[in-house]
Each structure stands twice: as C-alpha cells, then as structure tokens.
Amino acid sequence: MSNLTIVTTADGSKTIYNAEVGEHYHSRHGALQESLHVFVRSGMEYFLDRNEVDSINILEVGFGTGLNFLLTADACSNKQIQLNYTGIEAYPLSGEMMAQTGYEQYVPALLWDQFNNNYPQALKTTVDINNSAHLQIANTQLLSFETEQQFDVVYFDAFAAIHQPEMWNEEAIGHTVSFLKPGGVFVTYAITGNLKRMLKALNFKVEKAPGAPGKREMLRAVKQS
C-alpha cells in the first residue's frame, strides 16, 4: 500500500503513517509508551487490579499494527491470565507491513512468531497464540460488527476525530460500549467534552487519567451496573 510509511517515534519504536487519512497509527511521541500506558496499564491492568479473574475478554476498535495486542498478550502471559482478544479492523495491514514494525524487540520471540504466522488466519477465525491467548480480527466496519460475546475492557484506538469523526459520534460509541459488561472498562488516548458527555449518558463513570507522553490527559470510563 503506497500510502503507508514506516515512521520512527520519539521513544525509538516504530509506527505507520497513513497518508490517505493524514494520521499516524500511534503517537509520534512514542508508540510503545502510548500503547503500554493508555491500553495495557490504564485499561487491562486497571481492570485486573480490581477484579479477581483468571481470564479477560478485550475488544479493540482499530487493531492496526497489532502492538496493543502483542503487549497485552505478553502481560497476560506473565500474569497467567487467559486472554480472549477481538480486534475490529476495516482496513487490515499486510503481513509484510506488520513484519516491518520491529515489534519483535518488545515481546518474546515465540509470541512474535506465532502472531505473524497466524495473522492471516486471525482475519478469518479465532486462532491460538502462545497457548495463553485467543485472537480474532473482525475485518469489518465498526457499525457492522456483531457478536454475542461480552467484554471486560474496550481499547478504543481509532484514528483521531479530526480525521475520522464518524468513529467518535453517538452511534459509533453507543455501538461499541454495548459489548461491554457492567463493571467493564473503556479506555482511549483522547479526551473531549463531547465524548465524556456521551459516555455519562450511557451510564458510565468517567474519569480523566494521566495521558501518555505528549498528552496531558486521557479518558477512562467504567460501565455502571
């Protein structure tokens, strides 16, 4: 895809710039730092710290490069937590582009190899990764995504609203959080008054959390029962 370019971010980790959208897949201030802070620590680990479980179901809107999945799978493996991970991605990257990200530096070799080897199949069905994670990537638009599964955590990692406003409107956010269990956690790198109001109207307890490098704040919301 000629509109995609590998870019090195401020922390040395790589991301991809999509010239058609005019947006990077991760923060230019640090792809690795953003993924760890916003999604792994403020989302998955926040949920696990407050719930005694031996498995966790995570839904990611905007699967992209797979970095959030890789870091989450590694963290869950270390904690001996079974991970069930569903990504939504309307425009999946090629396996060749994935392999150029350099993310093998940040996770065990076995996890990286199994992810790369199973990525094409994960776009069609659920695959087993590293014996402790199940991965499925729904190759569809957000509003066309349907499942009977309910999730503990939502990673909302769509492109910014200035580039993809349709991903941040009431219909899109309402559809996304309909798959979240009571007590489930919604996290995203962005925080706006409009997003806070939408989530509060959907019976979420909303909080401002410290942002990743380059952003003062991010949003975390917990679905009330």
pLDDT computed for residue 15 by the predictor: 97
Report phi then psi at 58, rounded to 5.
Answer: -125, 135
Residue 106 lies in a domain: yes
Residue 14 lies in a domain: no
Question: What does the block give as tokens for 211?
Answer: 């942002």
pLDDT digits (tens, 9 = 90+) for 9-33: 999 999 999 999 999 999 999 999 9
Question: Are 100 and 152 a contacting pair, CB within 8 Å?
Answer: no
Residue 5 lies in a domain: no
On whether the pTM is more than 0.95, the answer is: yes
Range of the domain at 74: 30-223
pLDDT digits (tens, 9 = 90+) for 212-221: 988 889 999 9
Strand partners, 221: 186, 206
Q: For tokens 């001996």, what's the residue?
A: 80
Residue 15 lies in a domain: no
Residue 7 lies in a domain: no
pLDDT digits (tens, 9 = 90+) for 110-125: 999 999 999 999 999 9
CATH number of the domain residue 64 falls in? 3.40.50.150
In three-state secondary structure terms, 135 is strand
Residue 21 lies in a domain: no
Q: How many domains does the chain fold into?
A: 1
Residue 70 lies in a domain: yes
Residue 191 lies in a domain: yes
